[in-house]
Amino acid sequence: MEDVFRNLGYQNVRQSKKTGDEGRDILMEEFIDGRKRGVVVECKHQQKIGRPVVQKLHSAVATYDYDGPKRGIIVTTGRFTDQAIEYADKLRRNGNEHTVELMDGTDLREIADEVGLDLYNGRIEILCERTLRPIDPSSSLDAPVEEAFQSIQNFDTRNLPELDSSVTFKPVVSIQASVNAVFETTVGVINRVHENDHFVVRAERGRSSLLDSSIANLISNGQRHTVKIENPRIQQSFDDVSVERFGKTETEYKDWAVRRLQSRYTETVEYTGDNNVTYTKECEPNLSDISVESISPVYLPRIESEVTLQNYSYSLEYYAAGPSRETIENDINECVHCGRNSWTEHTYCDNCGSINCRRHVKTERVEGEPVCTGCAITERFAFRKKYFYDEENLEEFSAEYDEMGLHQKALENKPLLATAILLVVVGAFLLI
């Protein structure tokens, strides 16, 4: 029921203490004309609810320590007796400030259909139809890949073939919470915690974890501009679309957040007593000191675009939020031979389709174009290795080399020629 009420729009929804709750199972808040109103909920899983239960909750609402107006709700999987309904109606007609609303099994089934509650196992699955934008409306799906290829030498982005693109919608939960705790001893207040916190949780099946700050910022900034996950453009733009399910209920994520905040703001404090003795105290916020104001589920698009260039395939993976994105993996700006990444200059080999760093790209002898060390045919001429696209170019140059004069052949190894000239000059100088 905590999940149900949160889905219906109530705020600061939490369970009351298990002992001595006086019928207060759930405590929450609503806004009426800009003013907060406390709501006390009692949950009953039985066939018939009589007038005494309504009277008991009415008393629990009246004695609930809340600064502001308040009311009650009784929710049951069964039904209410005529006497219970009559008593609740009487409170309303007489203008009692602590009214009690009744929700029976029929009401609950209607709400269940709306919010996705499984009445058989009591689990409410998070139903979310909104996602951060997977595509920049002012651009195209190919734009990030084209941008990555712009830094590759010897490659014209106009020749980029059709991409194979897929999107996986990853569930995340954005949580707003606050901690307000005061710790006192006989000497007075020794510590205070007054903090507002916001964090984004990875919410697929498995262990919950915080997202990296860069990805969390991407979600926070993009959450104001979401689209429906069933958007026709999404289905038409991607070759494959998959949606992962949320792994836990909203209440489970709330409990996870509360435990995390309790641990985060627990600290050991030193203070001096009235007897001038120094003491230490572990200041751990109580559960009642922690309020989870909102839990907002949304999908985060993880996009993988793959392009095949001759013998090689390159992928670009990133999280998207409209015009913003956070790169996960970028094969385009890595050398296929050694894996050097984007901080080095890379060159495309038109002979095999590879992308190479400076160490693994050479100049083809016949055509004067870049060729990589992985696909090039090599042969030594004038004691220097030469690189060729294929055997045909090698044979063509071999025939040309045979026709060269001695000085022309020497020019095929300029470092060796320069060294020889230097040695001759030095020898002549020594001889003189």
| Structure confidence by residue, pLDDT tens digits, 45-61 | 888 999 999 999 999 99
Residues 98 and 100: their CA atoms lie apart, in Å, by 7
Among all chains, which residue has been given the structure tokens 């996950």?
A: 229
Q: In this predicted model, what pLDDT tens digit does every residue of 68-114 receive, in sequence order?
A: 999 999 999 889 999 999 999 999 999 899 999 999 988 888 887 77
Q: What are phi and psi of 236, to 5 degrees?
A: -80, -25
What count of other Cβ atoms lies within 10 Å of the Cβ of residue 245? 11
Of 172, 245, 232, nearest in space to 202 by CA: 172
Q: Minimum mean pLDDT among 87-96, 257-266, 346-355, 413-422: which range?
A: 413-422
User: CB–CB of 314/332 below 8 Å?
Assistant: yes
Q: What is the pLDDT of residues 397-421, one digit of tens each?
A: 999 999 988 888 888 877 766 777 7
pTM of the model: 0.71
Helix (H, G, I), strand (E, B) or coil at 16: coil
As a whole number, mean pLDDT of residues 37-41 equals 95
196 by Cβ neighbours in 10 Å (0-12 / 13-18 / 19+) ranks as exposed
Identify the pLDDT of residue 119. Answer: 62
Please, which residues have CB within 8 angstroms of residue 10's CB and are 6 or more apart in sequence? 28, 29, 30, 39
pLDDT at 53: 94
Strands (E), 22-110: 26-32, 35-44, 48-49, 70-76, 79-80, 100-103
pLDDT grade for 225, boundaries at 50, 70 and 90 = confident
Q: Which amino acid is at 68?
A: G
Which contiguous run of DSSP H or E holds residue 66? none
DSSP string for 394-413: HHHHHHHHHTS-HHHHHGGG
* 131 has a pLDDT exceeding 60: yes
- Pair of tokens at residue 299: 């999908």
Residue range 149-155: average pLDDT? 93
Q: Is the pLDDT of residue 232 over 80?
A: yes
- Of the pLDDT bands very low, low, confident and very high (cuts 50, 70, 90), residue 196 is very high
> Higher pLDDT residue, 16 or 173?
173
- Residues of 358-393 as b/e, b for ≥16 C-beta within 10 angstroms? eebbbebbbeeebbbbbbbbeeeebeeebbbbeeeb
pLDDT of residue 19: 53
Average pLDDT over residues 3-27: 80
Q: Counting Cβ atoms within 10 Å, is residue 84 exposed (0-12), middle (13-18) or buried (19+)? A: buried
Whether 352 has a pLDDT exceeding 80, the answer reads yes
For 302-327, write each residue's pLDDT tens digit.
999 999 999 999 999 999 999 999 99
Q: What angle do CA 184, 186, 191 make, to 5 degrees?
A: 25
The pLDDT of residue 121 is above 60 = no
Q: Give the mean model confidence (pLDDT) for residues 244-267.
A: 89
The closest of 285, 295, 284 to 198, measured between CA atoms, is 295
Length of the chain: 432
List the structure tokens of 282. 């572990």
Domains of the chain by residue range: 2-124, 131-307, 333-419
- Please answer whether residues 321 and 169 qualify as being in contact, where contact means their C-beta atoms are separated by less than 8 angstroms: no
Average pLDDT, the chain: 89
Q: Which amino acid appears at position 289 of this protein?
A: D
CB-facing half-sphere around the CA of 213: CA atoms within 13 A: 0
Confidence of residue 124 (pLDDT cuts 50, 70, 90): low
Q: Which residues lie below 8 Å from residue 74, measured CB to CB, with a gap of 6+? A: 41, 42, 44, 49, 53, 54, 57, 80, 100, 101, 102, 103
- Fold designation for 2-124: Trna Endonuclease; Chain: A, domain 1 (3.40.1350)
Residue 20 exposed, middle or buried by CB count within 10 Å (0-12, 13-18, 19+): exposed
CA distance 417 to 428: 17
